[in-house]
C-alpha cells in the first residue's frame, strides 16, 4: 500500500472515529406527536401520511416516520394503526339542552314507553306544571305512528304537554295545552302552519310548523337555569368528532334594547351568551359559527356587527336559517309538484316574493352573508331568485359573498342550478336526512324526487356547485351522514338513487371536514391537517375510506382534539 493510500485511509478512519464520538443531534421538543397510524390530511391531493406534529394549538409538521427523528413530543400517542383525520365540521346544528320540564322523547321506542316517561315527570313536577320534550319520531316507535293528543291525555290529564317531533317542524300537544293556547276544532290554520284534525274534525294534537302557537304559553326557565344544560350539550358533541359546528338557532335577542336586542329575551344560546361561555372554556369546546335569525331591518341596523365578527372560538355567520318553507318532518316542505297521494297539496312557502326579497336585500345592505332554509324545490327556486336579484343590485355578484342555501333537499330545475353556478351560490346539505326520513320521503315524494332527494352528485358533478355537509340533528352523528351520502341507503337497506346521487367516500369526507370552514372564510386555518392550521383532529378505530358499510354507519370516535388538546377520549382520558 502506498504512503498516500495509507494516509488517506488513516484520515478516513479518524474522521469516522471523531464523528462517532460526537453526541446525536438533539430532537426538537414539541407539545404533541401522533404516529403509527393512517393520517388522512384531506389536503388538495388527499395525501395520506403517518405522523402529525403539534406545537401549541397548531400543526407544525405532517409527514412520515422520519419526523420522529426530528421531533420529540411532551406527549406522544401511538395510533396503533388507527386513522387520524381532520375533525368534522357540522354546518347545521341546533343546540338541544335538557330543560327541567323535559322528558327524553327522542329516547322512547314505543308510545307506552313515552307514556311511562310522562307519568313519572308529572309525578315529579306536580299537577299544572308544563311537561315538554323533543325528538320523538314515529318510525322509531313500535306502533310506527304519530303520537296523538289522546295518547297524552290518557296519562297527563292534569299537566299541559308539548312534545316537539325530531327536526322541529311539528309537535303534539294534549288537550290541556291546546285549551291554554286557545286552540280548538274551529281555529283556522295559521300562516305557514297546519293544525291537524281527525276524521271527525276533532283536533288530533299535531300542529305542523307552528309549535310557537303552544310553546309561547310555556313559562320560560331563566338563562341561569339553562346555562349548565347548554354547556353539557356543547361538550357532548365532542364524542362524535365534531370540532366545529354552525349553530342554526342563534340570535341577538339579549343584546341591549336599542342595539338589536329585545325585552325579556328567551333563555337560548345567543351570540352574547356563547361568547361568555367560550370566554371561560373555549379551548375545550367545539368552535362555533352562529347563524342569526333575521331580526328585522331596524334591529339589524342597530346591532352594528356583521358576518365574520368574533374569533376562532365563536364568530357570526350568515342570516339563517330563517325558513323559506317547512320540512318533511311536518311535512310542509314547499314543492313544485303535489305530494304523492295528496292531490292539490304542495306544502307551504312562508314569504311572498316581495317579503323574501326585502329580507335578503336588507341583510345584504348591512353586509351579512345569507344562509336561508330552503327544503322543497319551490322554496329553492324562490330563494335563488331572491339571491340573484339582490346580488345583482345590492351585494354585488363578483364579491366573495359565499351565500348558501341551507338544506337543498329536493333538487330544483336545471335553470335554477345554472343560476346558482353563475352567481356562485353554495349548498349546506344534510345527507343523513335520506337515512332518517326514508319513510317520509317514500310516503310523500314521486319517484323522481325520491331518487334525487338530498342530492349531492348532480349539483356537485354536473353543475359544479360547492357542497358542504352537516346534520340538522337528524341525527347529529357524522358517520350517518357519510354512510348516507355514499350508499344512499335508509334503515331499510334500500338505496335511493345511488347511481344518480351517490358520491365517493373521499368526496364525502372532504365535504364534512374541509368544505365547512369555507362557509365561514376559515379554510385557511382549519378543515385539513396541514402545517399552520389548527390541530382540530379526530381518531377513528377504522379507516373511513375502506371500512365495511356497517362499520362506517355504526363507527365510534376514539379521540377528539381541539387546538391540539385532547377533549374527548372513549377510554375516559380526555378533558
C-alpha cell at 41: 390530511
Provide the residue count of the chain. Answer: 575
CB atoms within 10 A of CB 202: 12
| pLDDT higher than threshold 80 for residue 11 | no
The count of domains in the chain is 2
Cα–Cα nearest to 311, from 111, 522, 8: 522
Residue-level pLDDT at 519: 98
d(CA 571, CA 556): 12
**Domain housing 449:** 320-503
Residue-level pLDDT at 484: 97
| pLDDT higher than threshold 90 for residue 167 | no
421 belongs to a structural domain: yes
More confident residue, 176 or 19: 176
| pLDDT higher than threshold 70 for residue 221 | yes
Average pLDDT over residues 116-139: 92
Same domain (yes/no): 325, 470: yes
Domain boundary among 487, 503, 519: 503
pLDDT category at 169 given cuts 50, 70, 90 is confident
| pLDDT higher than threshold 70 for residue 352 | yes
Domain boundary among 449, 482, 503: 503
Residue-level pLDDT at 20: 46
194 belongs to a structural domain: yes
Beta strands of 293-393 (E only): which ranges? 314-319, 371-374
SS3 39: strand
440: domain CATH number?
3.20.20.140
Summarize pLDDT for 296-329 with one digit per residue, the tens: 999 999 999 999 999 999 999 999 999 999 998 8
Residue-level pLDDT at 10: 39
Cα–Cα nearest to 250, from 284, 213, 208, 295: 295
pLDDT category at 24 given cuts 50, 70, 90 is low
Residue-level pLDDT at 209: 86
Cα separations in angstroms, 96 against 9, 251, 268, 439, 446 = 77, 15, 10, 24, 33
Residue-level pLDDT at 142: 93
473 belongs to a structural domain: yes
| pLDDT higher than threshold 60 for residue 22 | no
d(CA 562, CA 295): 32
| pLDDT higher than threshold 60 for residue 9 | no
pLDDT category at 357 given cuts 50, 70, 90 is very high
- The per-residue b/e assignment along 404-415, b for 16 or more CB within 10 angstroms, e otherwise, is bbbbbbbbbeee
Q: Is the peptide bond before 297 cis (omega within 30 degrees of 0)?
A: no
189: domain CATH number?
3.10.310.70
| pLDDT-above-90 percentage for the chain | 86
Domain boundary among 157, 182, 215: 215
560 belongs to a structural domain: no
137 belongs to a structural domain: yes
Summarize pLDDT for 252-287 with one digit per residue, the tens: 999 999 999 999 999 999 999 999 999 999 899 999
573: left (phi over 0), alpha (psi -120 to 50) or beta: alpha
pLDDT category at 131 given cuts 50, 70, 90 is very high
Same domain (yes/no): 337, 210: no
Summarize pLDDT for 479-492 with one digit per residue, the tens: 999 999 999 999 99
HEC string of 186-242 equals: CCCCCCCCEEEECCCCCEEEEEECCCHHHHCCCCCCCHHHHHHHHHHHHHHHHHHCE
d(CA 254, CA 560): 32
CA atoms 171, 173, 179, 183: torsion sign: positive
d(CA 542, CA 204): 47
pLDDT category at 464 given cuts 50, 70, 90 is very high
pLDDT category at 191 given cuts 50, 70, 90 is confident
Cα–Cα nearest to 356, from 308, 329, 392, 322: 322
17 belongs to a structural domain: no
Average pLDDT over residues 44-62: 98
Same domain (yes/no): 324, 180: no
Order of strands, edge to edge, in the sheet holding 131-136? 102-103, 131-136, 161-165, 170-173, 203-208, 194-197
Residue-level pLDDT at 575: 62
195 belongs to a structural domain: yes
Alpha helical stretches, state H, 412-557:
414-423, 432-436, 438-444, 447-451, 457, 478-487, 498-501, 505-513, 549-554
Backbone angles phi, psi at 296, to 5 degrees: 100, 155
Instruction: Tell me how many degrees the CA angle 478-481-486 measures, rounded to the nearest 5.
Output: 130
Residue-level pLDDT at 457: 97
| pLDDT higher than threshold 50 for residue 4 | no
| pLDDT higher than threshold 70 for residue 23 | no
Residue-level pLDDT at 88: 98
CB 567 within 8 A of CB 574: yes
SS3 48: strand
Same domain (yes/no): 191, 328: no
110 belongs to a structural domain: yes
Order of strands, edge to edge, in the sheet holding 426-429? 371-374, 404-407, 426-429, 467-469
Q: Average pLDDT of the chain?
A: 93
Same domain (yes/no): 490, 368: yes
Helix-then-strand count for the chain, H and E: 20, 24
- The per-residue b/e assignment along 486-516, b for 16 or more CB within 10 angstroms, e otherwise, is bbbbbeeeeebbeeebbbebebbbbbbbbbb
Amino acid at each position: 500500500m502506498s504512503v498516500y493510500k495509507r494516509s488517506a485511509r488513516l484520515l478516513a478512519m479518524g474522521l469516522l472515529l471523531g464523528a462517532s464520538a460526537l453526541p446525536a443531534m438533539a430532537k426538537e421538543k414539541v407539545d404533541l406527536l401522533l404516529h403509527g397510524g393512517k393520517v388522512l390530511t384531506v389536503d388538495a391531493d388527499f395525501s395520506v401520511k403517518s405522523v402529525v406534529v403539534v406545537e401549541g394549538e397548531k400543526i407544525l409538521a405532517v409527514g412520515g416516520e422520519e419526523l420522529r427523528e426530528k421531533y420529540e413530543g411532551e406527549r406522544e400517542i401511538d395510533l396503533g394503526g388507527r386513522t387520524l383525520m381532520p375533525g368534522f365540521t357540522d354546518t347545521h346544528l341546533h343546540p338541544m339542552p335538557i330543560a327541567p320540564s323535559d322528558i327524553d322523547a327522542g329516547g322512547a321506542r314505543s308510545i307506552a314507553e313515552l307514556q311511562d316517561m310522562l307519568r313519572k315527570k308529572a309525578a315529579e313536577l306536580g299537577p299544572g306544571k308544563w311537561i315538554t320534550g323533543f325528538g320523538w319520531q314515529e318510525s322509531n316507535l313500535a306502533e310506527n305512528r304519530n303520537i296523538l293528543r289522546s295518547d297524552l291525555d290518557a296519562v297527563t290529564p292534569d299537566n299541559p304537554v308539548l312534545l316537539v317531533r325530531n327536526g322541529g317542524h311539528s309537535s303534539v300537544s294534549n288537550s290541556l295545552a291546546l285549551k291554554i293556547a286557545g286552540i280548538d276544532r274551529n281555529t283556522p290554520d295559521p300562516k305557514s302552519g297546519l293544525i291537524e284534525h281527525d276524521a271527525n274534525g276533532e283536533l288530533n294534537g299535531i300542529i305542523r310548523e307552528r309549535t310557537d302557537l303552544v310553546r309561547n304559553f310555556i313559562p320560560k326557565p331563566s338563562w341561569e337555569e339553562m346555562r349548565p344544560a347548554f354547556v353539557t350539550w356543547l361538550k357532548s358533541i365532542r364524542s362524535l368528532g365534531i370540532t366545529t359546528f354552525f349553530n342554526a338557532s342563534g340570535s341577538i335577542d339579549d343584546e341591549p334594547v336599542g342595539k338589536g336586542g329585545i325585552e325579556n329575551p328567551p333563555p337560548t344560546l345567543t351570540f352574547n351568551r356563547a361568547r361568555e361561555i367560550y370566554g371561560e372554556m373555549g379551548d375545550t369546546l367545539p368552535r362555533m359559527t352562529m347563524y342569526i335569525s333575521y331580526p328585522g331591518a331596524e334591529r339589524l341596523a342597530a346591532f352594528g356587527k356583521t358576518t365574520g365578527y368574533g374569533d376562532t372560538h365563536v364568530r357570526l355567520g350568515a342570516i339563517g336559517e330563517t325558513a323559506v318553507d317547512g320540512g318533511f318532518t311536518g311535512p310542509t316542505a314547499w314543492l313544485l309538484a303535489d305530494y304523492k297521494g295528496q292531490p292539490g297539496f304542495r306544502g307551504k312557502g312562508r314569504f311572498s316574493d316581495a317579503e323574501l326579497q326585502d329580507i335578503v336585500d336588507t341583510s345584504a345592505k348591512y353586509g351579512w352573508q345569507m344562509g336561508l332554509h330552503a327544503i322543497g324545490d319551490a322554496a329553492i327556486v324562490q330563494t335563488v331568485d331572491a339571491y340573484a336579484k339582490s346580488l345583482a343590485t345590492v351585494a354585488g355578484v363578483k364579491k366573495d359573498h359565499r351565500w348558501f342555501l341551507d338544506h337543498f333537499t329536493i333538487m330544483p330545475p336545471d335553470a335554477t342550478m345554472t343560476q346558482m353556478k353563475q352567481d356562485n351560490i353554495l349548498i349546506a346539505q344534510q345527507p343523513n336526512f335520506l337515512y332518517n326520513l326514508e319513510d317520509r320521503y317514500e310516503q310523500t315524494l314521486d319517484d323522481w324526487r325520491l331518487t334525487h332527494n338530498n342530492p349531492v352528485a348532480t349539483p356537485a358533478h354536473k353543475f359544479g356547485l360547492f357542497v358542504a355537509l352537516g346534520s340538522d340533528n337528524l341525527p347529529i352523528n357524522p358517520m350517518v351522514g357519510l354512510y348516507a351520502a355514499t350508499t344512499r341507503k335508509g334503515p331499510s337497506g334500500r338505496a335511493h338513487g345511488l347511481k344518480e346521487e351517490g358520491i365517493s367516500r373521499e368526496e364525502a369526507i372532504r365535504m364534512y371536514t374541509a368544505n365547512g370552514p369555507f362557509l365561514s372564510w376559515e379554510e385557511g386555518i382549519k378543515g385539513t391537517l396541514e402545517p399552520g392550521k389548527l390541530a382540530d383532529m379526530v381518531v377513528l378505530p377504522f379507516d373511513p375510506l375502506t371500512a365495511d358499510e356497517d362499520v362506517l354507519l355504526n363507527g365510534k370516535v376514539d379521540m377528539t382534539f381541539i387546538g391540539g388538546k385532547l377533549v374527548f377520549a372513549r377510554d375516559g382520558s380526555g378533558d
